[in-house]
Amino acid sequence: MRSGGEKNRAGPSAPAKHPKPHGIRMTTATMLRTFCALVCIGLAVSAHAKPAATPAAAPNVNETCLACHAAADAKGTAGKSIAVDGPKFTTSVHGEFNLKCTDCHTDVAADKIPHAETLKPVNCANCHDAAVKEYSTTVHGIARKGGNNVAATCTDCHGTHDILRSKSAESRTNHVNLEATCVRCHGDKITIAKGKLPGGDIGSEFHDSIHGKALRSAAKMSAPECTDCHGAHNMLPKSDPRSKVARANIPDTCGSCHQPEFKAYTNGMHGKMRQQGVLAAPGCTDCHSAHAIQQHEAAAFQTGAINECGTCHHESLSTYRDTFHGQVTALGYARTATCASCHGAHDVLPPTNPASKVSKQNRLATCQQCHAGASANFASFDPHASRHERERNPAYWYAAKFMEYLLIGVFAFFGIHTAFWLYRSLRVKFGGGDRKEP
Amino acid sequence: MATALPMADSTAAGARRSIGVAQRYYRRFTPLERIMHVALMLTFVGCALTGLPLLYSNQAWATTLSHLLGGFETAGVVHRLCAFVMIVVFVSHVVLVFGKAIARRNVLAILWGPDSLVPQPQDGIDIWRNLKWFVGRGPRPQFDRWTYWEKFDYWAVFWGMFIIGGSGLLLWFPVFFAKLLPGWMFNIASLVHGEEALLAVGLEHELKTERRFEYERLTRESRLAAKEAAPPTHESTLFGWVVGGTALSLGIVAIVLIVYSAF
């Protein structure tokens, strides 16, 4: 097992990342056995190959155990399964290193069988001390320490007797399998409720997201799985400023793959605000969401992002909704201009900046993206005209006032007219004594 | 709205006068006028229904209605189609009115007099009398061919056709019109297009009537016989009810939605 958090997803593992057998502390082994093992494994590592040689002094311990544990229906006295798949262990990464059962189950001695009914939990830190230490700082480790016994431990992600190297296609921690591994808890309603897992059913959100779909496509090796954003053993809570998913770090995390967008974003107003420490400025997930990321052409995303802009730009959203553009998108159709159509998305700049899509210099070209043949007059339309701002839109203001009074006047006059009429007609009908006609 | 109006017996007062024409029907509009009226009614409802979702796009019902109408693009096509027919009807109406008047050499009559829709002093007197009747200080007034509220309704439509039709064309062909007009005209166009439409929908269902004066005048001039008609058949009455009822219901639905959205 690697102790580092970063996973090398595409290529073969680098030698430096291979397990370091000399880190194994064999508490029950003799000096001679330790020496032999070190020599053999040392040779294997230097040769970049599987440790081919079998340590001379590790013969029958595992067979001794499997004598009882091999049967698939083997049960302890309490009726719990005690079955261990021997061949699977042999092909596991630990089997590869010819570890003995007692290397992990340290409270069992091969010469004292049967062993105690209840064994101590296996302590992975006996060998993987750095990884376990790192785990204790992760969101899972912290939750465990806080008494949440649903939070994932080593075996929840890596397995037990069947642990494989991450690069192996069947491994639970293989690039294409990690989603399923995480979703075993983060997509399971009972576990979510029991462990109060944040974010709810992330499994189905991610499954339908653009990343989830990419993981099932031919491009799966370049699509991100959970740990690519969250880290594995460095999966810090997002409240930790060092976390890859801390609010301040999200653009960097996304930008590690989406470089052109990252560049546009850092040059844009929102990215600049972030550089000045304004964390309220939107980052990637504010518009795109974290787990439910959709294709940016999707109407639901396009129209949804408008409301997201409106969470800060209230006035602009409200005046936009008064225009045809804003009305059509409010109905859920993305055929008309959204905020990003005119202002840009990642590279949004203030209109005073000459490089902005809505600057005086660029405005007409921006209109012409959709309205071919638009003239300078056309571009002088105010797409954010406010009927309440006399200075900004005097003609619009007067027109609005006129219409207001016209509507009130007409409806008031005819409202009263009709009310009186109804009253009089009823009196006539029910013989309430209308005056005699002339 | 009715193609044939049961004139004399439509009110208690009419019945009381017992002038012996209670079961007679008179044709107020020519067949062409009736076709144009139906076209206007249908296109009006068509425009209103396809336009309302945009005007109330922040309401949940607007999204539902928009999808019900086949989406914003389909609704847009229907809206423009209805608008086009409406403009054709409107222009035909103006041409017909003047054409007829020129043929009869009485252009002045459509501009002034009891048959004219142009407001005149008599309307002021009528309003005053009607208001007096409302507050119980006078007899119920009788009207000639056009009551003042019918005239108002007519000119509201006339004005509305210019404002809504004009602004609609601007919004339909913005690139073309922007060659002639400044950008802020389009801001105003989209504003008045919606608000005038509200006014039109709101005023659409006005009016019941007393039209004794016209009856008397026509009798006096012995022109009534020419307008007498066979009573409407059962089928045509039913048809009138179905078409009129549908239009009225759609209009009421529109008004209910508008009022609902105001709160």
Inter-chain residue contact A410 with B133, CB threshold 8 Å: no
Computed over every residue of chain B, the mean pLDDT equals 75
pLDDT at A435 over 60: no
| Cα–Cα distance, B222 to B216 (Å, whole number) | 10
Closest B-chain CA to A429: B12
Chain B residues within 8 A of A380 when measuring between CB atoms: 182-184
Higher pLDDT, B251 or A271: A271
| Cα–Cα distance, B70 to B241 (Å, whole number) | 27
Q: Is A37 helix (H, G, I), strand (E, B) or coil?
A: helix
- Element of type H or E holding A434: none
Find where tokens 């029991």 sit.
A194
What are the structure tokens assigned to B47, written together? 């425009």
Inter-chain residue contact B195 with A326, CB threshold 8 Å: no
Find where tokens 């119920």 sit.
B140
Higher pLDDT, A40 or B187: B187
Chain B residues within 8 A of A373 when measuring between CB atoms: 175
Higher pLDDT, B150 or A216: A216
Strand-pair category, B228-229 with B25-27:
antiparallel
Closest CA of chain A from B163, distance in Å: 11
Q: What is the pLDDT of residues A102-136, one digit of tens each?
A: 999 998 887 887 888 888 999 999 999 999 999 99
In this structure, the dihedral spanned by the alpha carbons of residues B81, B86, B88 and B91, taken in order and rounded to 10 degrees, is: -160
Residue in B136, B186, B191 closest to A403 by CB:
B191
Interchain contact A321–B (C-beta under 8 A): yes
**Average pLDDT rounded to a whole number, residues B243-257:** 72
**Average pLDDT rounded to a whole number, residues B186-206:** 80
Mutate to test the interface with A, among B16, B19, B57, B69 (most CBs of A within 10 A): B57
Q: Which residues pair with A51 in a beta bridge?
A: none
**Average pLDDT rounded to a whole number, residues B155-161:** 82
| Distance, first Cα to last Cα, chain B | 31
**pLDDT recorded at residue B105:** 77
**pLDDT recorded at residue B178:** 92
The residues, ordered by sequence, that sit 6+ positions from A65 with a Cβ below 8 Å of its Cβ are A84, A101, A102, A108, A110
DSSP state of B228: E
Q: How many alpha carbons fall within 13 Å on the CB side of residue A11?
A: 4
Residue in A375, A382, A438 closest to B184 by CB:
A382
Percent of the residues in chain A that have a pLDDT greater than 90, as a whole number: 62
Cα distances (Å, whole numbers) of residue A109 to A62, A114, A149, A359 = 11, 9, 29, 79
Closest B-chain CA to A436: B139
- pLDDT band, residue B204 (cuts 50/70/90): low
The residues, ordered by sequence, that sit 6+ positions from A61 with a Cβ below 8 Å of its Cβ are A100, A101, A102, A110
Higher pLDDT, A297 or A41: A297
In A70-195, alpha helices (H): 86-91, 93-96, 101-104, 129-135, 139-145, 154-158, 178-186, 189-195
C-alpha A58, offset from chain centre:
45
Chain B residues within 8 A of A436 when measuring between CB atoms: 139
- pLDDT band, residue A188 (cuts 50/70/90): very high
- Element of type H or E holding B26: strand B25-27
**Average pLDDT rounded to a whole number, residues B229-244:** 65
- pLDDT band, residue A368 (cuts 50/70/90): very high
pLDDT at A257 over 90: yes
**pLDDT recorded at residue B118:** 79
| Cα–Cα distance, B97 to B89 (Å, whole number) | 12
Single-letter amino acid, residue B112: W
Contact yes or no for B73/A335 (Cβ under 8 A): yes
Interchain contact A170–B (C-beta under 8 A): no
Closest CA of chain A from B187, distance in Å: 7
pLDDT at B214 over 60: no
Q: What is the pLDDT of residues B104-131, one digit of tens each?
A: 777 777 777 777 777 788 788 888 887 7
| Cα–Cα distance, A246 to A237 (Å, whole number) | 8
- pLDDT band, residue B209 (cuts 50/70/90): very low
Computed over every residue of chain A, the mean pLDDT equals 84
Inter-chain residue contact B184 with A395, CB threshold 8 Å: yes
Inter-chain residue contact B133 with A424, CB threshold 8 Å: yes
Find where tokens 């105690």 sit.
A116
C-alpha radius of gyration, chain A, whole number: 34
Contact yes or no for A178/A225 (Cβ under 8 A): yes
Closest CA of chain B from A382, distance in Å: 7
Mutate to test the interface with B, among A363, A378, A411 (most CBs of B within 10 A): A378
**pLDDT recorded at residue B185:** 92
Chain A residues within 8 A of B55 when measuring between CB atoms: 327
**Average pLDDT rounded to a whole number, residues A74-87:** 88
Inter-chain residue contact B182 with A423, CB threshold 8 Å: no
- pLDDT band, residue A319 (cuts 50/70/90): very high
> CA nearest B195: which of A338, A377, A414, A387?
A387
Chain A residues within 8 A of B13 when measuring between CB atoms: 428, 437
Chain A residues within 8 A of B178 when measuring between CB atoms: 374-375, 377-378, 381
**Average pLDDT rounded to a whole number, residues B133-154:** 76
Residue in B57, B180, B206 closest to A414 by CB:
B206
> CA nearest B67: which of B53, B56, B83, B79?
B53
Q: Which range among A199-203, A234-238, A255-259, B224-228 shows the weakest confidence by mean pLDDT?
A: B224-228
Percent of the residues in chain A that have a pLDDT greater than 70, as a whole number: 84
**Average pLDDT rounded to a whole number, residues A393-405:** 91
Closest CA of chain A from B249, distance in Å: 19
Closest B-chain CA to A379: B183
**pLDDT recorded at residue B195:** 87
What are the structure tokens assigned to A425, written together? 């007609």
Q: Which range among A172-181, A320-329, B219-228 shows the weakest confidence by mean pLDDT?
A: B219-228
Q: What is the pLDDT of residues B17-38, one digit of tens each?
A: 444 445 556 566 677 877 888 8
Angle at A228 between CA A223 and CA A232, to 5 degrees: 145
Chains A, B: CB pairs < 8 Å: 125
Inter-chain residue contact A417 with B62, CB threshold 8 Å: no
**Average pLDDT rounded to a whole number, residues A293-309:** 92
C-alpha radius of gyration, chain B, whole number: 21
Residue in B58, B71, B133 closest to A333 by CB:
B71
Closest CA of chain A from B105, distance in Å: 36
Interchain contact A377–B (C-beta under 8 A): yes
Contact yes or no for A264/A296 (Cβ under 8 A): no
**pLDDT recorded at residue B263:** 67
Chain B residues within 8 A of A392 when measuring between CB atoms: none
- pLDDT band, residue A436 (cuts 50/70/90): very low
Contact yes or no for A208/A292 (Cβ under 8 A): yes
* Burial per residue of A274-289, b for 16 or more beta-carbon CB atoms within 10 angstroms, e otherwise: beeeeeebbbbbbbbe
pLDDT at B79 over 70: yes
Closest A-chain CA to B138: A435
Find where tokens 């144009």 sit.
B36
**pLDDT recorded at residue B232:** 59
pTM value is: 0.72
Inter-chain residue contact B191 with A399, CB threshold 8 Å: yes
Chain B residues within 8 A of A372 when measuring between CB atoms: 175
Mutate to test the interface with B, among A331, A386, A417, A435 (most CBs of B within 10 A): A331
Inter-chain residue contact A381 with B184, CB threshold 8 Å: yes
Q: What is the pLDDT of residues B94-105, one digit of tens each?
A: 888 888 878 877
Residue in A327, A378, A396 closest to B191 by CB:
A396
Closest CA of chain A from B180, distance in Å: 8
pLDDT at B250 over 90: no
